[in-house]
Amino acid sequence: MVAVKATQAMPHQVQNMTNRKPRRSLPALTGALAGAAGLAGAGLAGAGASVIRRLGYIGRFRHSFLPALKKSGARQSLFRYLTYRDFLVTSARLSTYVPVLSYAVIMSFVHQVAVITGASSGIGWELAKVLAAQGCKVGLIARRKENLDALAENIRQAGGTASVSAADVSDRAQIHGAIAETRQALGPVDLLIANAGVGMPTLLSPVNIRDVEQMIRVNLLGTIYAIEAVLPEMLERRQGHLAAISSLGAYKGLPGESGYCASKAAVNCYMEGLRIHLRDKGIAVTTICPGFIRTPMTAVNKFHMPWLLEPDDAARRIVRALARRRKVYNFPWQMNLLMKLTRWLPDWVMARTMQDYNENPPMGNK
């Protein structure tokens, strides 16, 4: 009866209701999140840290979520300020802003043990410095011990902890021994970054088979040997993180770089299968695929390297990706997009693009 009377008395409202589109109950959802997190009432930094970290990711979708959040009362108690880049979150009980991304990185690596291969220069050198600054104990492995000693001293002077072990990652016995030394000096390995790599052009006449074999041994087998050395203990502890520095070159067989691209593509495939295999074992697996980075590997290149990054910038990006436990991290996005587009280009376009490079290939060891 009430519904009939309302329909008869207010036909225009009924018409409006029938034409109204269903709305998502976002305010109710955010209110539930706020209550579950306890940010509005609990005021416990320890209990709210993980929740704050997850809420920070909402910043990625600010263009779609913020307009609705502005209309909800939950926003006033849950968010004071939220940005895409810095993920700053504050609550009713927190008097200062919390940089969520930086806080998440610190909480992810403090007091952990990280082993970094190829740490004597380039990305590995900078990764060690960034992780040590976050409170991580770093095990440095490479062939050039004098470089490792200099890096370790740099880290110790800054208040960090580092150990040094000289080894060639392509030698299974050496890399196993170096990681055992690191474990004895620093403790069980929580994070492995298989960073060591080499690159040389692939020639046609004569075929430089020894260079190709070396790239396969270092880039692929060196990664597998390092993982072999830490995986049993991680499985026993049911925790750990395996990461490999691959390349955007893994996504396209480039003329003149067949051997290098093949070695990195194999790394990607190996890490993908390993990630799926370990998904219920408590072990994270991350594949890092950078573009051009200013390192000794790229110093021999005479051509223009688009979107070239400095190694310290690349290291910070990689550490952020590791903190988020990304499955695959391709960067920078411009180079990633370009490499995806090359997969659709005709062969003659790629051949012409790489013609000058192949006529005068840089033969220095990258």
C-alpha closest to that of 269 among 219, 232, 230, 233: 219
Task: Please state, in angstroms and rounded to a whole number, the distance separating the CA atoms of residues 123 and 136.
Answer: 17
| C-beta separation of 80 from 90 below 8 A | yes
The torsion defined by the Cα of 274, 277, 279 and 280, in degrees rounded to 10, comes to -140
| C-beta separation of 19 from 59 below 8 A | no
Instruction: Considering the candidates 103, 225, 260, 270, report the single residue annotated as catalytic.
Output: 260
Task: Please state, in angstroms and rounded to a whole number, the distance separating the CA atoms of residues 221 and 212.
Answer: 13
Per DSSP (E only), the strands in the chain are 88-89, 98-99, 113-117, 137-142, 162-166, 191-194, 240-245, 283-290, 328-331
Task: Please state, in angstroms and rounded to a whole number, the distance separating the CA atoms of residues 123 and 51.
Answer: 31
Whether 260 is a known active-site residue: answer yes
Residues with a known catalytic role: 260
